[in-house]
Amino acid sequence: MSTWSLSELLSGLHEDIRQRLEIARKTFGHSTTKGDASERVWIELLQSYLPRRYWADRAHVVDSNDTFSEQIDVVVFDRQYTPFIFNYEDQIVIPAESVYAVFETKQSISAGEVAYTQKKVASVRRLHRTSLSIPSASGTSAPKVLQHIFGGLLTFESDWNPALGQPLLDALVSEPEGRLDLGCVAAHGTFGCDAEGCYSLTTEGKPATAFLLELIARLQTSATVPMIDIRAYASWLSR
C-alpha cells in the first residue's frame, strides 16, 4: 500500500520555502545579503518547478529601441525560442519579447514596497516588443498578439495587521501598466487579480505552493512568446 500523499508533498514544498525565507530574514545581518538570499530562494523555486520552456533569473530587460528596464529581481522568460542579448558573470540582459512575468522580492510587504514594485513592473511593460509572421509547413501565420506580462511581489511577511486586508487592497490600486497580477506573502497568504481587475486575498493553505501553482496556471494561458525580430536588435551593430 502506497504511503505517498499529495497533500504532504505540497505542504512540504511550502514549508521548505517558508523556512528558508525565515532563516534568511533572521540570520543575515546585512540588508543586501538578506535580500540576495531571499531572492535566491524564490529564483531556485521557479528554476526547479517551472516547465523547462521557462527560466527564471535576475535580469535587465531591453527592447530593440535601446530602452532598458530597471533591474528586476525575478524575470520568468522563454528559453526555447529567444536568445539572450547579453550573459556574462551573472549579468543577464534579455529581450523584451521573451518575458512572461516579472517579480520583485522583499522581506515584507507594505504600501511602499507595493508602489515600488508597480513602478518596476511598469518599466518592463512599457518596452517595445516585436512580433513577426510565423512560417510553418502549412504556410505563414499572422504575427502573434503580444501576451500580457504578469507582474507581482514576493515576500516573507507583512507590515500590516492583519497581514492581508484592506490596506493591501488599497495599495494594489494602480494604472494597468503597473498592475500586480499575483503575489505571495509566504508566512500569511497570497493575492491575485482577475481579468476584470478585481483582487482576491487568500489567507489559507500553503502560500508558497499556492503561488507556484497559480503562476504555472497563468503561464499556460500565455501560450508561446512572439517570434522576435532579431534583425531589429542586430541593427544596433552598425550604429
Q: Is 106 an active-site residue?
A: yes
Closest CA to 191 of 163, 161, 221, 159: 163
Give the C-alpha separation, 26 to 47, whole Å.
24
| Total Cβ atoms within 10 A of residue 131 | 17
DSSP conformation class of 236: G
Other CB atoms within 10 Å distance of the CB of residue 169: 14
Set 97, 104, 157, 181: catalytic member: 104
**3-class state of residue 137 by DSSP:** coil
CB 222 within 8 A of CB 100: yes
Amino acid at 102: V
3-class secondary structure, 149? coil
Alpha carbon of 4 to those of 1, 10, 145, 183: distances in Å? 9, 11, 43, 29
Q: How far is CA 56 from CA 100, 110, 147, in A?
A: 10, 24, 18
Sign of the alpha-carbon torsion through 217, 53, 55, 113: negative
- In the DSSP assignment, the letter for residue 136 is E
Of the candidates 57, 73, 97, 113, the residue annotated as catalytic is 73
Give me the catalytic one of 39, 63, 78, 106.
Answer: 106
Q: Which residues are catalytic?
A: 73, 104, 106
